[in-house]
A and B are shown apart, each in its own frame.
Chain A
Amino acid sequence: MQEKWLLAGLSVALLISTCSALYEDQIRKFDWRGVNVGALKQSRVDLNHFQPRILVSTNEGVVASLCVKTGELVWRQVLEQKPRGDIKLLQVSGFSDDSSDTAAAPMGSNLGFDMLTVQGHAPALVRGWNTNMGALEWEWSIMPMNIERAQDAMWIYSKSVLYHVLPAWRSHLEVTAYFASSGHSTGSTSKVIAPWITPESCTLSGTFYVCTEGKQLISLDLVSKSGQVIRTSLETEPNEKTQALTGLNGVVIVDGKPISVNKEQSICGGLQSSSYAVGSFNYRKILAFADLSSGILKINALYLDNCAPAAELEQSLPFPKHFGTPSLNNFDCKQKRNGEGKNCLFLFSTTSESIVAVQQGRVRWSREEALANVIDSQFVDLPLADTEGTLENEMKGKAGDIASAFLRRITTQAVQIRSLFLHVIGLGPPPTATQRAGLVRDSFGLHKMLVLLTRSGKIFGIDNVSGKHHWQLYLSNVSGFANNEQMRLIVQRSAKHFPLQPLCTILGKNAVNGNGVLYRFNPITGQVAEGGLVQLDYKIKQLSLLEETEKDFVKGILLIDASNKVHVYPEHATPLADGMYLYTADVKSAELSGYFIKYAGGQLSSTHIWNARLGGHNSEQQIIGVAGKNPIEHVHSQGRVLGDRSVLYKYINPNLVAFVTQAPDSTHKSVLNLYLVDVVSGSVVFTMTHRKVRAPLSIVHSENWLAYSYFNEKLRRTEITTIELYEGKTQANSSVWSSLQAPPMPLVERQSYILPTIVEALRETITERGITNKHVLIGTASGSIVEMPWHMLDPRRPIASTTQGREEGAIPYIPELPLPTESHINYNQTVARLRNIYTAPSGLESTCLVVATGLDLFVTRVAPSKTFDLLKEDFDYILISIVLVALTSGSLIVKHLASRKLLKQAWK
């Protein structure tokens, strides 16, 4: 027994020494997290609370409280995923809103809630929140009879009663009232006959249900007993959908004009604006409106009772272009007699999904909520410092004869001495903007510019070490492609080619006509480069990158349009497209097509050279995942050494792409097929099928292996299958890979494991030369990122512990993969709604840069094989120098003493 304990203790001691987690003092040293809430939906600015706050609900299903002074989060609650977490109503109780029927009764009147939200439709959840802490206080729910119809349901709150309005289009409305805090029904459901209602024409403004029909508004007061139909005529037929004006009961905005359908609510006439909000100032109700014209944001306000302008609130300010078009969401003022309007805070939501707070004629703070939807990311090297740049230039210069090289060396050194002298006497050239911002490459290449492309079309340049936003750009009217394909961010020229600046390109679709759009910019400064926005006159079907040109080192973009014509951008890179292969995949019919691009006589042409049909008999299979390899990947080791010292060569085919299809099946419920296709020759190299298995699917493909996770319906758990491909004991061609002469049948090793978590994203680590081990980063639904070494996922893990397996260094097979807490690389920095993980190599072979995106953003670095090429942070430099100095001086002294002794002996 004693022996056992001792052994256990020893093994624990061994394990602790090999633990790879962070130390406590390393927290936040090279990682940071950005916390977002998403695009603003409803907000309530409340400056007169004992604790001034801004309560918001967002399109991402988040309720949060923001600090009035800085815009920082006080608390945040991330609700369930859509559609369950879709927020339909945010109702705040508070004494500042003394007005309409829709507002809550004052605090302390025992209504039982501070803030109330209604979310989802089946079931609809009503929740009461404590706004100081963000704690959930109570909750009730209703399950609708007809789930499909319930999607269109709306909710209104009036006098502590919550009304559930369920439209049956072109027929009637069903209105049910509940006590807001208890969920008890106040009576039966009332049916209001309204055959004119359609989803396009109707809005709910307070308790009034307003529809447009031709040149008139037809409205119903849903709360009143009479149920009278009110008709209001308009001057012209409205062009846009009417919008409700929150804060006023029965007022709608028709083409920028507020119109009241409520007899008890008058509204000032002759107004025209893009956005309105209601608040109070000097104890009087105010209608504020804001418009953007030629870069200047103008805010105006009127007293609602007499329509006199409230001059104290009027202000205009230059509005930065990268925010897009603002829309006034809410505002509030500190209540004081004869206040000057300085204490008013206006909250704007913008088309670039920012939240902007304006006070006293300037932007007080802003939140970049576009970052809640990052769709692509790139790490871009920073430019070299000037001196290093000239050195680099010299090294790169074409080696001519000795004389010219010598001359060049002398001139550069003369220039360096001059600049040093000028720098010393203080006459040197001023540092450039990027140098001032500290954007200079470090010796290990760990400091990079993180360029993030977001769904709204806003692009960010973020420092990956400090998390500072260096620049922002906004592309309006640009959207993602068809088939749910997002916009692309491409690095056309890296920072290697000093003095040429790096160049990035965004490829998207024009939101209006669907044609392709290119936008080129400098990723370090965020400035437009080489023409900026280019509107193409064709639709983009597929794209690919070409080799670097010799002239300006730009990687051309090869585009194939809807009619299979081929284009290259920029045009001078066209000859490089000769001999390229491209493939397209139709997601719906699961058909693949391969094309060969030829350049002859100044013309590009494409030939259809292969096709494959993964759709099955009736195209019932649909592609749910496509995974190619990272084009910048290097494979260092060509083979794997087996137990008997022979080598098993890896099947490293850079053109191999994995396709996963899914279809319902009569006998096996749902079937998932994996196809490995060589996209140059069109050969379907390997096919594997899973039964009773379905999406969500995450897939990662690298070197000679593939790992993908899915949900097993039969056993209700997440599983991960891994595949390794080998050529065999001999290699067909060790120097060049040709898909047209590839070994036809690779050996396929495969294994499945149970993963005790729900996987949201998978990504492999990547390093500069590929010497470091590969780890797989697993992003889980709970927001943690787990680093899983490949030797745990290895399909060659032996079931029976044989000597051969042990010799090979493989761990014996255990069906369930462990997820130890030490391998969670984001420790307690949970990434809410984790969606994707991106990796990039750093200048150090051991280190890989990681960014995880979702609602939050987490940036860190990982070292899969430990930092073998870096001294430890707590390395004792003083000790080593003392030891060195002592040793050197000791040896000198001893040498001296020895020579004296020798001399003495010689004299004897």
Chain B
Amino acid sequence: MYSKAKFVLIFLLGVVASSWGFLEHDSWITVELQHSLVANSESFSFRGNVTIPSLNSGLANVEQPALSTVDLDLLKKLALGNEFYRLKATVVYSNGAKAQFITSNKACRLLQAQLNDVLWVSLDPSGYVTGITVSQDTAPATAECTQEDVKKLVETQFSTDVLIRHAELAPVPDTAGFIQKVEREREARERGEVRDNRGFFAKYWMYIVPVVLLVFISGATNQDGAK
């Protein structure tokens, strides 16, 4: 009985471990966002700051000033040319280390979504950022923006959701669970819980009938072959 309890414990631990999706040592990061509003240019201008005080909880403070009319016009021009809206994200870790990421999406989609976007932050198992992706939730109406689409833009303020993708722990071959299952089945057999008192044919007719049929069919074809 003791061993059974142990198996259950191992199983439970396994279940907990396999749903592991948070870091052992929680930390904070800040992300400085800069965007490029001119196609193929290497100059980036400030967009806002994101602070994530706890990577495990995933809550973020986003501070983004409103876009100026000059920037809005540039963004519209970008959208009309079906160009990429490029975002540069500088991540600062709690230990002072920095890492720079670039992500892009079509400017047209950003306008169609009324400057609503989602910032996905992917983490590796030790809590370092592997990639930052900006995307839009809503499905676009058209692939390319026309002058009319651009005119529909009323927002001047970005509204950004920050979502964190944690690394997950890989499964291990579940030998304990399997042994436990086999054990349970054996015990059940020994206790005779599932004793079936039906007759032989009543129990196994579904196996016997196809076999008999098969034998008949193959016998028939063999005779044909012999001829």
9 contacts between A and B (CB under 8 A): A610-B102, A612-B101, A612-B130, A683-B131, A684-B165, A686-B168, A687-B167, A816-B173, A879-B224
Given A609-B86, A740-B109, 20 other A-B residues pairs in contact with their CB atoms under 8 A: A17-B214, A609-B84, A610-B102, A610-B104, A611-B102, A613-B99, A616-B124, A617-B126, A677-B131, A681-B135, A683-B122, A684-B130, A732-B139, A744-B135, A750-B170, A750-B171, A752-B170, A799-B174, A800-B181, A814-B178
What chain B residues lie within 8 Å of A11 (beta carbons)? Answer: 207
Q: How many residues of B sit at the interface, in one of the four size bands? A: 35 or more
Q: A613 is contacted by which of B125, B130, B166 (Cβ under 8 Å)?
A: B130
Bound-complex Cα distance A721 to B172 (A): 8
Query: A689 near B167 (CB under 8 angstroms)?
Result: yes
Which chain A residue shows the least CB distance to B169? A689
Cβ of A791 under 8 Å from chain B: no
Which chain A residue shows the least CB distance to B172? A752
Minimum CB–CB distance for B125 against chain A, Å: 4
Cβ of B147 under 8 Å from chain A: no
Minimum CB–CB distance for B94 against chain A, Å: 12
Bound-complex Cα distance A800 to B180 (A): 11
What chain B residues lie within 8 Å of A689 (beta carbons)? Answer: 124-125, 167-170
Minimum CB–CB distance for A848 against chain B, Å: 29
- CB-CB contacts of B202-217 with A at 8 A, as 1s and 0s? 0010011001001000
Cβ of B103 under 8 Å from chain A: yes
Query: A813 near B133 (CB under 8 angstroms)?
Result: no
Cβ of B225 under 8 Å from chain A: yes
Which chain B residue shows the least CB distance to A611? B102
Chain B interface: which of A25-33, A77-85, A634-642, A668-676? A668-676
Bound-complex Cα distance A609 to B175 (A): 45
What chain B residues lie within 8 Å of A64 (beta carbons)? Answer: none
What chain A residues lie within 8 Å of B200 (beta carbons)? Answer: 3
4 A-B pairs with least C-beta separation: A684-B122, A612-B131, A609-B104, A687-B167
Cβ of B129 under 8 Å from chain A: yes
Query: A10 near B135 (CB under 8 angstroms)?
Result: no
Query: A815 near B167 (CB under 8 angstroms)?
Result: no
Cβ of B177 under 8 Å from chain A: yes
What chain A residues lie within 8 Å of B204 (beta carbons)? Answer: 3, 7
Residues 646-700 (chain A) with a chain B CB within 8 angstroms = 671, 673-675, 677, 681-684, 686-691
Cβ of B120 under 8 Å from chain A: yes
What chain A residues lie within 8 Å of B163 (beta carbons)? Answer: 744
Cβ of A607 under 8 Å from chain B: yes
What chain A residues lie within 8 Å of B139 (beta carbons)? Answer: 732-733, 741
What chain A residues lie within 8 Å of B211 (beta carbons)? Answer: 10, 13-14
Query: A744 near B40 (CB under 8 angstroms)?
Result: no
Take A687-B123, A732-B139 as given contacts and tell me if A673 and B131 are in contact as well, using a CB distance cutoff of 8 Å: no
What chain A residues lie within 8 Å of B47 (beta carbons)? Answer: none
Query: A684 near B168 (CB under 8 angstroms)?
Result: no
Binding site for B on A (CB under 8 A): 3, 7, 10-11, 13-14, 17, 596, 605, 607-614, 616-617, 621, 671, 673-675, 677, 681-684, 686-691, 719, 721, 732-733, 740-741, 744-745, 748, 750-754, 799-800, 813-816, 876, 879
Query: A682 near B131 (CB under 8 angstroms)?
Result: yes
Cβ of B105 under 8 Å from chain A: yes
Query: A596 near B84 (CB under 8 angstroms)?
Result: yes
Q: A879 is contacted by which of B100, B172, B225 (Cβ under 8 Å)?
A: B225
Query: B175 near A815 (CB under 8 angstroms)?
Result: yes
Bound-complex Cα distance A719 to B224 (A): 50
Minimum CB–CB distance for B55 against chain A, Å: 13
Query: A675 near B133 (CB under 8 angstroms)?
Result: no
- CB-CB contacts of B101-116 with A at 8 A, as 1s and 0s? 1111110010000000
What chain A residues lie within 8 Å of B104 (beta carbons)? Answer: 596, 607, 609-610, 682
Binding site for A on B (CB under 8 A): 40, 84, 86, 97, 99-106, 109, 118, 120, 122-126, 128-131, 133, 135-136, 139-140, 163, 165-175, 177-178, 181, 200, 204, 207-208, 211, 214, 224-225, 227
What chain B residues lie within 8 Å of A605 (beta carbons)? Answer: 40
Take A610-B102, A683-B135 as given contacts and tell me if A674 and B170 are in contact as well, using a CB distance cutoff of 8 Å: yes
Query: B173 near A609 (CB under 8 angstroms)?
Result: no
Query: A688 near B170 (CB under 8 angstroms)?
Result: yes
Minimum CB–CB distance for B99 against chain A, Å: 6
Query: B178 near A815 (CB under 8 angstroms)?
Result: yes
Take A10-B207, A13-B211 as given contacts and tell me if A721 and B130 are in contact as well, using a CB distance cutoff of 8 Å: no
Minimum CB–CB distance for B25 against chain A, Å: 12
Query: A687 near B125 (CB under 8 angstroms)?
Result: yes
Q: B173 is contacted by which of A800, A815, A879 (Cβ under 8 Å)?
A: A815
Which chain A residue shows the least CB distance to B106? A740
Minimum CB–CB distance for B108 against chain A, Å: 10
Which chain B residue shows the least CB distance to A722? B171
What chain B residues lie within 8 Å of A690 (beta carbons)? Answer: 170
Bound-complex Cα distance A199 to B135 (A): 58
Query: A741 near B109 (CB under 8 angstroms)?
Result: yes
Minimum CB–CB distance for A666 against chain B, Å: 11
Query: B131 near A876 (CB under 8 angstroms)?
Result: no
Q: A799 is contacted by which of B84, B97, B172, B178 (Cβ under 8 Å)?
A: B178
Bound-complex Cα distance A638 to B108 (A): 30
Q: B84 is contacted by which of A13, A17, A607 (Cβ under 8 Å)?
A: A607
Bound-complex Cα distance A127 to B225 (A): 58
What chain A residues lie within 8 Å of B109 (beta carbons)? Answer: 740-741
Take A675-B130, A683-B120, A800-B181 as given contacts and tell me if A613 and B171 are in contact as well, using a CB distance cutoff of 8 Å: no
Bound-complex Cα distance A609 to B132 (A): 12
Query: A799 near B168 (CB under 8 angstroms)?
Result: no
Take A614-B130, A673-B125, A683-B120 as given contacts and tell me if A688 and B169 are in contact as well, using a CB distance cutoff of 8 Å: yes
Bound-complex Cα distance A732 to B191 (A): 51
Bound-complex Cα distance A35 to B200 (A): 56
Query: A673 near B167 (CB under 8 angstroms)?
Result: yes
Q: A10 is contacted by which of B130, B208, B225, B227 (Cβ under 8 Å)?
A: B208
Bound-complex Cα distance A351 to B122 (A): 49
Query: A7 near B120 (CB under 8 angstroms)?
Result: no
What chain B residues lie within 8 Å of A17 (beta carbons)? Answer: 214
What chain A residues lie within 8 Å of B106 (beta carbons)? Answer: 740
Q: B171 is contacted by which of A752, A816, A876 (Cβ under 8 Å)?
A: A752
What chain A residues lie within 8 Å of B168 (beta carbons)? Answer: 686-689, 748
Query: A613 near B126 (CB under 8 angstroms)?
Result: no
Which chain B residue shows the least CB distance to A745? B165
Most A Cβ at <10 Å: residue of B106, B136, B171, B200: B171
Minimum CB–CB distance for A826 against chain B, Å: 27
Bound-complex Cα distance A55 to B40 (A): 64
Minimum CB–CB distance for B100 against chain A, Å: 8
What chain B residues lie within 8 Å of A612 (beta carbons)? Answer: 101, 122, 130-131
Bound-complex Cα distance A14 to B172 (A): 33
Query: A752 near B105 (CB under 8 angstroms)?
Result: no
Query: A607 near B40 (CB under 8 angstroms)?
Result: yes
Query: B101 near A753 (CB under 8 angstroms)?
Result: no
Which chain A residue shows the least CB distance to B40? A607
Bound-complex Cα distance A691 to B208 (A): 49
What chain A residues lie within 8 Å of B181 (beta carbons)? Answer: 799-800
What chain B residues lie within 8 Å of A815 (beta carbons)? Answer: 173-175, 178
Bound-complex Cα distance A255 to B40 (A): 56
Q: A688 is contacted by which of B123, B129, B167 (Cβ under 8 Å)?
A: B167
